[in-house]
Structure formats: C-alpha cells, structure tokens
Structure 1
C-alpha cells in the first residue's frame, strides 16, 4: 500500500532521511502479497482465458478484434494505474485482469488459471464440466470482484505503515 506523505526535495535526496523512506512507500502501488493476492491472481488468469474465448467465439469479434479491443482497454487502464498516487485495489486488479486477457491471447504456456478455466468451460464430452465460457467468466469475475471489494473494505492487503521518526502516527 502506498502512503501519500509530503516530503521536501532536500529530505528525499538524504538517504538517511525518514522522509526518503516515506517517499519510497508512496511509490509502491501494489498490494501486500498474501493468500488473497494469489487467489485473485489465479482467478484473473482464468477470467483472462475464458473472456478471450468468449469475445473471440461468442461475440464474433475474432482474434484480431479481441486483441485490438483488449489491448486498447489495457493501455487506458495502465495509464490510470501509472497516474494514481497510491495503491487502488480496483484499478490495480482491473489492470491485472486485462493483462491476463491480453496475455492469454499471445500466451504459449498453459498456466494454472487457464487450465482451470478450460476445465470448467469445456463440454463434458471433452473432459470439462460443461459450464461454458459465459458462466465460467461470470463466476470467476464475481469471485474476483467480491474479493476486491472485501480487500478494499477490510484493507487486509495493505502494508501497515511503520511510524517514521519525527512524524505523528
């Protein structure tokens, strides 16, 4: 988690300054790596795979159309992510999910999330559970959104700020 603390240019240049530590904290825009992080990350990979399949096959966009659309959306979200001054769960995880979608379009590997997505969405005759891409995408997107809302409210993925000398806690 990022802590937006004011600092002066002189304090930032001083390597031993408490404000330099605060400045580094402000640059951190990612959540703490916890079990929640890994659950959401795997689910994002699953959503990436099934969403790409859904848009490619069911929405009729084709591989090129899906690639262009998702790449453009990813570019917009990355601009927002880079412009934020602190960790924002919704923006961060949307970027991760879109990276997973775009990555699944060009991926040569089969990560865990992709395998789970395929297992759930493929017909039973092909060894899957037959949920289809729509149900699988909605299911995993709902779990991701639920977890992101939970983490936003509880802040369990936020690194607690240690008191810095000379600043009130």
Structure 2
C-alpha cells in the first residue's frame, strides 16, 4: 500500500504542478474543449469536474524517485542537469517501481489550483491513503517559480520529476483564464 501511495503522490504532484504551470503560461488563449487523443483518467482518482487532459503518458512498469523532503542544492556547486540547471535533490526520497501515469489537466477557469489540490487530498484520504510529503512555493526547495522547462538556472521540483523534453504531447498556447 505504501508503494501505491508513493506512486499516487508522485503522479498527483507532477500533474498538479504541470497544471499550475499551464494555467499561468501567458500566450494566445486556446482553451481545450476535449481531452487529447489517447488520454484517459487514472483509475485511482477521478478527474476534477470540468477539466481536460492536455498531456498523457502511461508506463506499464518503470522505476522512479519520489521526493519526501524539500530539494536542496547539490554539495557540488558545479553539478548541472542536462539543461544546464544547478542540481537540487531531496535528502529523503523513495525509490519505487510500478505503473506510472502522467496526466496534465487544464482546470476550469473558475477553479483555483488550491481548490483542486484540496479535492485530491480528500480523494486520497477517502481511499485510505496518506500524503507522504507536502510543500508549497519556496518550502519545496529549488526554483519555486519554474515549471519543467528552461535551462541555466536552478532546478525546480517539477524538473525533479521530469523535464520539458520528457513531455511527448505537443504544447498548446494558453493564456491566464481568470
């Protein structure tokens, strides 16, 4: 059950962070009205009402690392990732194996990321799960103002999960819709 909680938590945070990044991106507005082709909800948690899948990737079996503490800078100040970002990593982490599904949703314009987060926390609790690590903004360590894209700065929590190059779905322009 702990491995399932860790997997679900990683998926939840990765999706929520990507979702927040998508909502805050500034460009010409193109609000999706349907899921991308091939996208499907994770059977462990239903989608937030009114949202649409804009990125979807599913692995039947893989390994990945789930952070259980804030990111801290590498002891080596010259350590860089593939995008030339300064490397950050958590002191506590869980190495897990199993199915991995990455889903990024666009929220309805009248909903905030915090409202959706609280909804999913309720879903986790109702399923008997527990949140193993939670942080917000600067508490997460690394660059609090970055998503999974960009280079030459500090890694963000989102980059710890995956970089923009790992997202296989085409980007779409999205304006702040509030």
Bin the TM-score by the shorter chain: 0.3 to 0.5
Rg (Cα) greater in structure: 1
- For normalisation by structure 1, the TM-score amounts to 0.36
- For normalisation by structure 2, the TM-score amounts to 0.34
Give the structure with the larger helix fraction: 1
